[in-house]
Structure 1
């Protein structure tokens, strides 16, 4: 018979290195996939976001319109003359509305639209955007601070 040393103790209840690697791998896979599953389940369609983008476009255009000296429509583009002499234009380019300053630059203001029109008279400008969700309009009043100042003799 074989005798065991009194100093050798066998621990059969522990984990091996292979078992630890496998369990850690499964845990990491679940940790990576859980946020993706939640985002897929609770995601909304792009419509509310696009509606917010259109509202933001109207707000930005409204600020520039109210600070403009004049506004005019040429070649289906809206041109705004600023007090500092800059000319800002809004135009449809493909399925986007782009903003240019003095004919240079190319800032995309709004995407995924079908049409963009402007109608204006002496005191107001109406912006009309047609997107997949419908037609959105916004009317801004031209303040024109430099034309309304009192002249002193």
Structure 2
């Protein structure tokens, strides 16, 4: 009976026992350095994106304030009740109120126009010839503005 055995010497050439060569190590290290070199750019982009969001929030606030100032100046009547601002203008009732995390505007109790986003809390307070708005957003920023109406000025000049 003959026994055949496989020689270990023949199978060794199929395995690479040389190890990790210097050329392979340099190639892997260069790829690693290439990937790591993009990290500062990535972090810079993240930081600029956060600053951009802050600028957009401030811009949104200024646009909202200008819009509500114009509407308040043209209003015939101003009422503050239940932390809502109610304006009467040309026979229409305009209402500013909170809806979720948004401040919305409604005309004649219809519609749903979002005028400010990411609102945590706000308060309308009546002042002489206008309204004071104090607002806190979800990011912890506090805003405050005094909004004046021309209603009393028109009445003052009409009586003279």
With the shorter chain as reference, the TM-score category is 0.5 to 0.7
Aligned equivalent of 1:63: 70
SS across alignment from 2:91? coil
2:107 to 101, 104, 109: 101
Deviation at residue 121 of structure 1 after TM alignment: 2.7
Distance 1:79 1:90, change over 3 A: same
Q: Structure 2 regions of 5+ residues with no counterpart? A: 1-40
Instruction: Indicate the structure whose relative CO is greater, using CA pairs within 8 Å and at least 6 residues apart.
Output: 1
Residue 155 (structure 2) pairs with residue 147 (structure 1): yes
Which structure dedicates a bigger proportion of its chain to helix? 2
C-alpha RMSD of the superposition: 2.3
Runs of 4+ in 1 over 6 A off after TM superposition: none
Give the TM-score of the pair, scaled to structure 2. Answer: 0.63
Distance 1:143 1:113 in 2: 28
CA distance in 2, matches of 1:148, 1:81: 20
TM-score (structure 1 length as normaliser): 0.66
| 1:151 to partner: Cα distance | 5.2
The structure with more radius of gyration: 2
Where does the alignment leave 5 or more consecutive residues of structure 1 unmatched?
A: 1-36
